[in-house]
Amino acid sequence: MSIKTLSTTPYDDQKPGTSGLRKRVTHFQQPHYVENFIQSLFDCLPGKEGQTLVIGGDGRYFNDSVIETAIRMAAANGFGKVLVGRGGILSTPAASHIIRHYGAFGGIVLSASHNPGGPDGDFGIKYNIGNGGPAPERITDAVYARSREIERYHIVEGGTVDFSGPGAFALDGMAIEVIDSIADYAALMETLFDFDAIRSLFASGFTMRFDAMHAVTGPYAREIIEGRLGAPHGTVVNGVPLPDFGGAHPDPNLVHAKELYDLLMGPDAPDFGAASDGDGDRNLIIGRNRFVTPSDSLALLAANAHLAPGYKRGLAGIARSMPTSAAADRVAEKLGIEMHETPTGWKYFGNLLDAGRVTICGEESAGTGSDHVREKDGLWAVLLWLNILAVRRQSVDAIVREHWATYGRNYYSRHDYEEVDAAAANGVMDALRARLPRLEVEGFGGRAIALADDFAYTDPVDGSVATGQGIRIGFADGSRIVFRLSGTGTVGATLRIYLERFEPPHGRHDRDTQEALADLIGLADALSDIRQKTGRAAPTVIT
């Protein structure tokens, strides 16, 4: 066993996106691609010597191999200890909790989230800092810069690295502890939610289906929902994590979780349906005959959080990503608490959470979470919903309708054009950007435009600035269209169009969403000329 320093040549495409470096597995399998990125990261972490690093991933294809490489490189780069998930598995929120709970220096989380897995699927590497949250841009920018000049990496060769079962061992002087994160995570959930109340809800005959989509949440959901909360065996389906997610796309939306959606809309619907994604940080919430949009879910959770013991003292504030609907803003206004609008990416919530300025955060991309960790947390959202249902003893549909009657309804939808030619997608954005200065003056399609800009954000805690975060076009009546390029795709570009229209408390809340947004959809098409510029007749995914 010895530390080797091996020479390498840089790649020029290791720029982390919205959430770490995501590429096809085959891309990561290029010679030294993984080693280059991990060494670039370690080179940008002063003070790591002797510290503890958490390593784990969502169990997708290539997870084991990269975990072994990361452990060998951590030992060669002077870390004192590695905490690794049993079998290499840690959900993203559990990894965040483990980093915080054990006071680790940081963590490497291997996941491409909701993207498909398998030899031809996607892979990803992300670094989380000591607060448990995704590394801020100053770190990811430094890693990218380093990756463009790297010439060598350090690795321990020889010795055995076996993280298949619990235990502790050492590699060239670095301690390695294989941990089972499920118990730690479940214990944290017990501090936040009224498990007795939820147990009585299930005991009263309440029915649920949780679709773990053959992804990382399965074992956590089985332990908590079926084990500790007493839901009948079989409540959690697709609960065994598979390296290729059973060939499916572990994205809990209406397209990829269609079976769950159909069940909840059908004659044999359980009371409550939920799903989580590849690495367990996203969630989908569907009541019997009622899909809850992620933006509405954020607002509803914020308005009802006080019903759960962990939040009974109220919320310090709420934060949402810019493209998320303004439904939560109305709740913050009523509660008289701070509301923050940040760029897309959970990393932008970190400072606000650390500073105690917000308690709950959420994004339209099916992510909600709180200050209990520094990542979004799929199972947390499901448990908060269950806690609310256990206290209110109303259906999801009734709770949603009551919310709209109080706050009004933000009709909301996202239209995605996936795997579009990158030049064409950039062309759409550039043309829109060029029109911005005229739009506020001239309006469009006979509509007055109140706001037309490319979203920029100044972090109120550390003053850091993020620009170019998406084109916002706000109409005088409160409607809004946002155009943005995704930062998580791995092939070509994904263009997202976010559409939102506000219907006041006493307005019509029972319209079909696409129909209620039809005029905005037409305006978005006309403004962007997207069909002609991309050659696409329609969006790939509508959520």
* Binding region for ligand G16 (CB under 6 A): 18-19, 113-114, 281-282, 321, 344-346, 363, 365, 367, 486-488, 496
Q: How far is the CB of 215 from ligand G16 (least distance, A)?
A: 11
Catalytic: which of 40, 96, 111, 113? Answer: 113
CA-to-CA distance for 258 and 519, rounded, in angstroms?
27
Q: Which amino acid is at 175?
A: A
Q: Which helix (H) or strand (E) segment is 33 a member of?
A: helix 33-43
User: Does 65 qualify as catalytic in the annotation?
Assistant: no
Residue 275 Cβ, how far from ligand G16 at the closest point, in Å? Answer: 13
Dist. CA 336–CA 316, nearest whole Å: 10
75 in Cβ contact with 103 (< 8 Å)? no
Task: Count other C-beta atoms under 10 Å from residue 411's C-beta.
Answer: 22
Distance CA 434, CA 426 (A): 12
Q: Which is nearer to ligand G16, 176 or 328 (CB)?
A: 328
Question: CB 488 → ligand G16: shortest distance, Å?
Answer: 3
φ/ψ of 330, rounded to 5, equals -70, -35
Q: Do the beta carbons of residue 22 and residue 490 sit within 8 Å? A: yes
**Nearest-approach distance from CB 344 to ligand G16, in angstroms:** 5
Least distance in Å: CB of 394 to ligand G16? 30
For 519, residues 6+ apart whose C-beta sits below 8 A from its C-beta are none
Of 246 and 487, nearer to ligand G16 (C-beta) is: 487
* Separation of CA 46 from chain center: 28
Which tokens in the block code for residue 303?
């308005």
**Comparison of 69 and 486: residue with beta carbon closer to ligand G16:** 486
Tell the smallest beta-carbon distance from residue 393 to ligand G16 (Å): 32
Closer by beta carbon to ligand G16, 124 or else 408: 124
Q: Which residue, 362 or 408, has its beta carbon nearer to ligand G16? A: 362
**Contact at 8 Å (CB) between 342 and 458?**
no
CA-to-CA distance for 45 and 126, rounded, in angstroms?
Answer: 14
Q: Long-range pairs for 383-386 at CB < 8 Å and ≥24 separation?
A: 383/189, 383/192, 383/193, 383/198, 383/224, 384/192, 384/193, 384/301, 384/305, 384/308, 385/272, 385/274, 385/285, 385/297, 385/301, 386/193, 386/198, 386/201, 386/208, 386/229, 386/272
With respect to ligand G16, which residue has the nearer C-beta, 399 or 495?
495
**Which residue, 378 or 408, is less far from ligand G16 as judged by CB?**
378
Would you call 313 exposed, middle or buried from its count of C-beta atoms within 10 A (0-12, 13-18, 19+)? exposed
Are the C-beta atoms of 234 and 202 separated by less than 8 Å?
A: no
- State the nearest-atom distance from the C-beta of 365 to ligand G16, in Å: 4
Report, as residue numbers or ranges, the catalytic residues.
Answer: 113
